[in-house]
Amino acid sequence: MRRPRPGPRTPAALVAATPGPAHTIEFDGRAIPALPGQSIAAALWAQGIVAWRTTRVGGRPRGAFCGIGACYDCLATVNGRPNQRTCLLPAAPGDTVTTQEGHGHAELAV
């Protein structure tokens, strides 16, 4: 007797998740779906996006590293506020996330 073939393996399938409908956030002008309960970093990862910041010295790309709020590598500008830890910040409908350049205060010229 064969067991029914499992569907494609995904994180959601693994834990039998039935999340509510996705809402939308904006990342650098692009609409990104986010599931209710996901952090901003998780919503970006789900779209295959792993970089949303450039470093202050070398201008190199960075994204989430530790995933738990300890490394501060996942900083982004969220709704105009720079230096937000996107791995901790739940994605709220309509959030605007922009790639943060350097220390995030370019417009202040500090």
Partner 1 sequence: MPNSPSEPSGSSGSSELSGSTGVAAGGAGYDLAVIGAGPAGLAGVVAAADRGLRCVLLDAGGGLGGQYYRHPAAELRAARPDRLHHHWSTFTALSRRLAEHREAGRVEVRLRHHVVLVQGVPLPGAPPVSGASTGWRLHTSSGVESGAGSTGRVDARAVLLATGAYERQLPFPGWTLPGVVTAGGAQAMLKAGLVLPGRRIVVAGSGPLLLAVAASLAAAGAEVPALLEAGGYLGYARSPGTLAAVPGKLAEGVVHGAALARHAVRPRTAHAVIEAHGTDRVRAVTVARLDRTWRPLPGTERRIACDALAVGHGLVPQLELATELGAATRTVPDGTLALRVDAGQRTTVPGLWAAGETCGVGGAELALAEGELAAATIAGQQPPAALLARRRRLRAFAELMAAVHRPGPGWTGWLSPETEVCRCEEVPLARITEAVQELGAGDARTVKLLTRAGMGWCQGRMCGPAVACLAGAGAGAEEPAADRRPFSCPVRLGDLAELPSD
State which residue, 13 or 72, has the beta carbon closest to ligand FES: 72
Q: How far apart are CA 7 and CA 51, in angstroms?
A: 30
Quick note: the x/- pattern for ligand FES over 10-49, rule CB under 6 A, is: ----------------------------------------
State which residue, 74 or 91, has the beta carbon closest to ligand FES: 74
Element (H, E) at 34: strand 30-34
71 binds ligand FES (CB under 6 A): yes
- Sequence letter at residue 9: R
Binding site for ligand FES (CB under 6 A): 64-67, 69-74, 85, 87
